[in-house]
Structure 1
Amino acid sequence: MSHAEPDTRPGFRITGWHVLAGVVGFFAVVIAVDVVFTVLAVRTFPGTVSVTPYEDGLLYNRKLARIAAQEELGWRAAAAAEPLAVSLEVRDRAGAPLSGLAVTGRLERPATEQDRKALTFREVSPGRYRAPAGGLSGAWDLTVEARDPAGRSLEAERRLTWP
């Protein structure tokens, strides 16, 4: 029978210094990656949303005034997507159809500024207006403005979906 000699070579043992080096190394990598991402984010977006914030605020105040005037009129609009057109129905506070309006609008994709379409509506029956839109598919945002001969106006926005 042969007798095996015990291995007297010292083996690798994990000590407290190894654990400390691993933890410090891990957090050093995490902090370095965070610093790189933060620097890249700040360089690519300086935080400026508008170069004319004061003027934008004035335009917004005017829009709020138009909305308040529109609420006083009590006009309501309902839009629908038809196979090749957009239909719009405009009624006054009492629910009576509003005739003789000049109605314009535009269609645009919700997520992009491409494929904007200008619309010109014509009255097809009292209070009901229609604009040809062509063969559309998917979701579109409709913005319309209806103005009567006295200068009173209605602005409305709707999301329409075609199959």
Structure 2
Amino acid sequence: MTSTAAKSRFELNGWHVLAGVVGFFAVIIAVDVVFVIQAVRTYPGEVSVTPYEDGLAYNKRIAQLEAQEQLGWTAGVAAEPGAVLVKLRDEQGRPLTGLTVTGKLKRPATEVGAKALTFAEAAPGDYTASAAEAGAWDVTVEARGSGGVRFEAQRRLSWP
């Protein structure tokens, strides 16, 4: 009886170890494949819908910024209670009046909730637009003057 009892006991050999190692890595690879497929399906990594066109516009953007720098204008953008305040000054610090000022307010991480802003001149060189939502916002302000003069400023603002 002792010889049959000894034969029925499980004995670990090389094939068992090989099957265990292969099975372990098969599970790891299968889980990794599932994760990669889900990652690609949920976020394709696309930053821009029109990357080629964005690249072509790059030199135009640089030329616009150089022309803006030559103007010598400055912009102070601040978050006021329920409003965005923009103070536009020329190179001598004098207020810039009579400009058409527009803007866009958007969240730093998403396009959801983006708002167009239309500014009105509240005082010489001071332009305001209503904006009353709490949180952090990126504001882009564009001022246009006579003769096609264009000035753009970007700031991050936050309201309590």
TM-score, normalised relative to structure 1 = 0.78
2: CA distance, partners of 1:51 / 1:111:
16
1:131 to 99, 116, 129: 129
User: How much has 1:146 moved relative to structure 2?
Assistant: 0.7
Q: Unpaired segments of 5 or more residues in structure 1?
A: none
Q: Judging by fraction of residues, say which structure has more helix.
A: 2
- Percent identity between the two aligned chains: 63
Residues 106-129 of structure 1, C-alpha deviations (whole Å, 9 max, x = no match): 212223323222222122222211
1: CA distance, partners of 2:62 / 2:130:
31
- Residue 153 of structure 1 is matched in structure 2 by 150
Residues 78-136 of structure 1, C-alpha deviations (whole Å, 9 max, x = no match): 11111111101112233333222211112122233232222221222222111122x31
- Residue 15 of structure 2 is matched in structure 1 by 17
User: How much has 1:33 moved relative to structure 2?
Assistant: 2.6
User: How much has 1:6 moved relative to structure 2?
Assistant: 7.6
2:57 to 59, 68, 74: 59
- Residue 77 of structure 1 is matched in structure 2 by 75
User: How much has 1:51 moved relative to structure 2?
Assistant: 6.3
Tell me how large the CA RMSD over aligned residues is: 2.9
**Cα 1:81/1:55, change in 2 over 3 Å:** same
Structure number with greater Rg is: 1
Please say if 1:144 is aligned against 2:141. yes
User: How much has 1:41 moved relative to structure 2?
Assistant: 4.8
1: CA distance, partners of 2:70 / 2:124:
22
